[in-house]
Amino acid sequence: MNLITKLKQSAKSLKSEAQVLMVAYKDNRTLFLAKVLIGITIGYLLSPIDLIPDFIPVFGLVDDLVIVPLLITASVKLIPVVVLADAREWIKNNTGKVKKNNWVVAIVIIAICVVLLYSLYRHFIPPKKN
């Protein structure tokens, strides 16, 4: 199996695991800590801002190749096995019913990013004194 095929297969499995995380997040049996990490993971996946900007050669893709899989793996390890099995089964049986566009979540994530950027701006660039 060549490298491109392996990467495509890994990307496909990560996409399905992200869907499993979204279903497991809604389950009441999922622990609070797991829900927090799932929220961070999904937020990072949907966020237009990367930890390391993509325009930086080589290192710009590190977050996509390392950080995202680590977040997904850590989230999956915190979810009880029964919840994971149920979430995977639900995804398998309801592939057409999975909501792909959730504008409310996107707006919330963008709003959080804007507030964070503004607060960083205000912190590092204080107002001019006359």
pLDDT > 90 in the chain, percent: 18
Query: For the segment 11-70, what is each residue's pLDDT rounded down to a tens digit?
Result: 677 777 888 898 999 899 999 999 999 988 888 877 766 666 767 777 777 767 778 888
Report residue 85's pLDDT band, with 50, 70 and 90 as the boundaries.
very high
CA distance 89 to 67: 26
Residue 121: what pLDDT?
Answer: 84
Report residue 4's pLDDT band, with 50, 70 and 90 as the boundaries.
low
Residue 99: what pLDDT?
Answer: 58
